[in-house]
Structure 1
Amino acid sequence: MEQSSTSGGFVSQDSTTPSQWTEATTVNETDKWFNSTCGTTLVPELVNLIIAPVGLTGNAVVLWLLGFQMHKNAISVYILNLAVADFLFLSCLILSSMMAVIDNFTLFSVILSTMTIIFYTAGLSILSAISTERCLSVLWPIWYHCHRPRHMSAVICALLWALSLILNILELCVSLLLVTSYDLHWWKIVDFIIASWLFILLMILSVSSLALLVRMFCSSRRMPLTRLYVTILITVLVFLICGLPFGISWFLVSWLTPVLFLFCYIHPVTLVLCCISSCTNPIIYFFIGSFRQQRQRRTLKLILQRALQDSPAVGNYGDSNSQRTLEILESRMLE
């Protein structure tokens, strides 16, 4: 039976051989192979160091605008928490990539890796909550507008953050104990719980997004296409293309440890894709918000407000005066 160690190597144990002899031989041989094969591949880390600061800046702008410049509503609370998750994910990724480039793997590297999974899980959870709430507002609009609790967004975000922290801190504790005890029982249980939670989130995200698409384009009573729905759908699509492979590879590395090339080659590439996903979210907001906007009022605050606009202004540009009036009223309401 094989298991993964925190240093990236693999420890092979047999009940018929002494554990000290097995540890001394297998770890040394595997570490030599790991260093000679994976230690020379620094391209993904360098790409992360180039791309991540761009996303860090974009998410910082979103945090500043939503946190201090705009009044908060149901959707802006979710977007704010998603920007926090992306910002922290990119921060940990930058530190991890720097430590990989300078070849300094310590216990702090293990903690950084766990923190990266925490913020990845939190981002997926919040994105699933956004898509689910928008789906509820479309399928049951009367309940949503009349009976929805006022602070439901903040409560849901707090619960999702707490659950992500608990699960991944538990994973870190079990991984650290595994180094000395070599007991795979609890490690498998915790990994199964985290993988199940990620799978549930993925199913919720996929089903709710598909329901939105069907209601907007295939239903007999089509909902008007707004900038908010376009923003959510594009954000979900980018995550499914770029962010989801990282979660799949993390699951495969955790459960299929004999396939070491997954860690060496596929996992770093998926981490780069996840970095692109976190960096793309602010670009999506500002692109949707600035699409066909009057240039004389092109401020970042108004652009972000338009990206979160839940009124049917997308695709109806025949009357420019009505559109301009809608923008003025919206900006006054949100100031």
Structure 2
Amino acid sequence: MGPSSFHRMNQTLNSSKTPASNWSGPPGETLGVTTRVLSALTILTCVVGIAGNGMVICLLSFREQRGPFCVYILHLAVADLLFLLCLASELILEASLVANTGHTIYSDHTVHMFPTVLKAFEVLRRMNFLAYTVGLSLLTAISMERCLSVLFPIWYRCHRPQHLSAMVCALLWALAVLLNVIEALFCREFWNLDTQQCFTVDLIFSLLILALFTPVMALSSFILSVRVQRSFQRRRRQPTRLYVAILASVLVFLTCALPLGIYWCLLYWLDRHLWTDIKLSYSIFFSSSVSSGANPIIYFVVGRRRSPGPREALGTVLRRALQEEAELEPGDTPSTGTNQEGV
């Protein structure tokens, strides 16, 4: 899923469907400027996202008591941090290669003259796939579990295993690592540009992952948003900040990060010019970097104090954003029971 994308692009140029005589090449300096701007914006977004996710990891790691969703958010921040680090490293590596040789990572010149660089690029892409898979699966688990807590609040509170979050996170990381190991075994002939084996395996896993997690995440988030809206209309009470944070994170992922997974799948059928694929790749990389870098901003915006007051510590703001209990508005009376909506 993704690691073989530049392999496919090389085959696009070398295949009989797109002979070199029909390829007009990049449109002069326009492509270079566009690519450099997108690359710079993506790297800048990655730096901001790395700082934000690193802050979330530090704040949650040193908390003595973490709720079940804090565990999910901690692992999601680790996955986002890994994704942003790998993406920024890829872009810096390719920018250095272009500056020193005048050839991109996709060119035949790089394939034959700099195999070590390509191997490093492949490792980064594998790690990128790992982080992307974990992030997608964690968001699915978060939205699905919160949806269950709304649909079946009493059952959820009484029967939920105490360490379910940690077990689910460990399972999802193990699954992502296993998929990467299997792909690496199938792709041991990766550097033979005459074989479709590696890209076919990538495609199969991409389709399986997207088909399994994306519909579940979208459906559970839709159900969650509907139930929260109905509860608000009946009781006129603001939903918990955690619901808002989850729904905002899922919406940003579906809008900004999902196109990356779809693009990796569609590359198998795309028969495009190399320069067009590169421009599309950089646009989608920028979009996905926004998704991974936006989550810390969402947490701190959602968790800030609604009424004016003294400046608060970031740990307090983050704790408020991830708390599961609804805040009491002026005039509300605390309730010791569990409401039927669970919100």
CA distance 1:305–1:199, shift in 2 (3 Å): same
> Paired residue for 1:284, among 269, 274, 298?
298
Cα deviations across residues 193-228 of structure 1 (Å, max 9, x unaligned)? 332222211001001001101212247977961111
Matched, 1:10 2:11: yes
CA distance 1:186–1:280, shift in 2 (3 Å): closer
Tell me, in whole angstroms, the C-alpha distance in 1 between the residues paired with 2:21 and 2:244: 52
1:111-126 equivalences in 2 (<5 Å): 111-126=123-138
CA distance 1:285–1:9, shift in 2 (3 Å): same
Give, in angstroms, the shift of residue 318 of structure 1: 2.5
CA distance 1:194–1:168, shift in 2 (3 Å): farther
CA distance 1:204–1:141, shift in 2 (3 Å): same
2:112 is matched with none
1:327 is matched with none
Tell me, in whole angstroms, the C-alpha distance in 1 between the residues paired with 2:255 and 2:15: 38
Matched, 1:96 2:96: no
> Paired residue for 2:272, among 239, 252, 259?
259
Matched, 1:230 2:244: yes
Give, in angstroms, the shift of residue 272 of structure 1: 0.3
> Paired residue for 1:83, among 40, 63, 77?
77
Cα deviations across residues 166-197 of structure 1 (Å, max 9, x unaligned)? 22343344344143384435642452133222
Q: Could you tell me whether the CA contact under 8 Å between 1:246 and 1:270 is conserved in 2?
A: yes
Q: Could you tell me whether the CA contact under 8 Å between 1:5 and 1:179 is conserved in 2?
A: no
TM-score, structure 2 normalization: 0.79
Tell me, in whole angstroms, the C-alpha distance in 1 between the residues paired with 2:207 and 2:134: 14
2:203 is matched with 191
1:18 is matched with none
Q: Could you tell me whether the CA contact under 8 Å between 2:303 and 2:321 is conserved in 1?
A: yes
CA distance 1:267–1:187, shift in 2 (3 Å): closer
Matched, 1:74 2:86: no
Amino acid at match of 2:130: I
Give, in angstroms, the shift of residue 296 of structure 1: 3.4
CA distance 1:98–1:181, shift in 2 (3 Å): closer
Q: 5+ unaligned residues in a row in structure 1: which ranges?
A: 15-24, 324-335
2:56 is matched with 62
1:48 is matched with 42
What secondary structure, in the 3-state scheme, does the structure 1 residue paired with 2:323 have? coil
Segments ≥4 residues shifted beyond 4 Å: 11-14, 28-40, 219-224
Equivalent residues, number: 306
Deviates further, 54-63 or 291-300: 291-300
Matched, 1:163 2:170: no
1:298 is matched with 312
Deviates further, 107-116 or 167-176: 167-176
What secondary structure, in the 3-state scheme, does the structure 2 residue paired with 1:296 have? coil
Q: Could you tell me whether the CA contact under 8 Å between 1:121 and 1:164 is conserved in 2?
A: yes
Deviates further, 48-57 or 210-219: 210-219
Tell me, in whole angstroms, the C-alpha distance in 2 between the residues paired with 1:295 and 1:203: 41
Work out the percentage of aligned pairs sharing the same amino acid: 36
Cα deviations across residues 308-330 of structure 1 (Å, max 9, x unaligned)? 121222xx53259x89xxxxxxx
CA distance 1:119–1:171, shift in 2 (3 Å): same
2:340 is matched with none
Matched, 1:273 2:273: no
Tell me, in whole angstroms, the C-alpha distance in 1 between the residues paired with 2:212 and 2:251: 17
Tell me, in whole angstroms, the C-alpha distance in 2 between the residues paired with 1:174 and 1:97: 26
CA distance 1:7–1:182, shift in 2 (3 Å): closer
1:172-251 equivalences in 2 (<5 Å): 172-180=184-192, 182-184=194-196, 187-218=199-230, 225-251=239-265
Q: 5+ unaligned residues in a row in structure 2: which ranges?
A: 99-104, 106-116, 335-343
Give, in angstroms, the shift of residue 251 of structure 1: 1.2
Tell me, in whole angstroms, the C-alpha distance in 1 between the residues paired with 2:179 and 2:49: 26
Give, in angstroms, the shift of residue 243 of structure 1: 1.2
Matched, 1:129 2:122: no
2:157 is matched with 145
TM-score, structure 1 normalization: 0.81
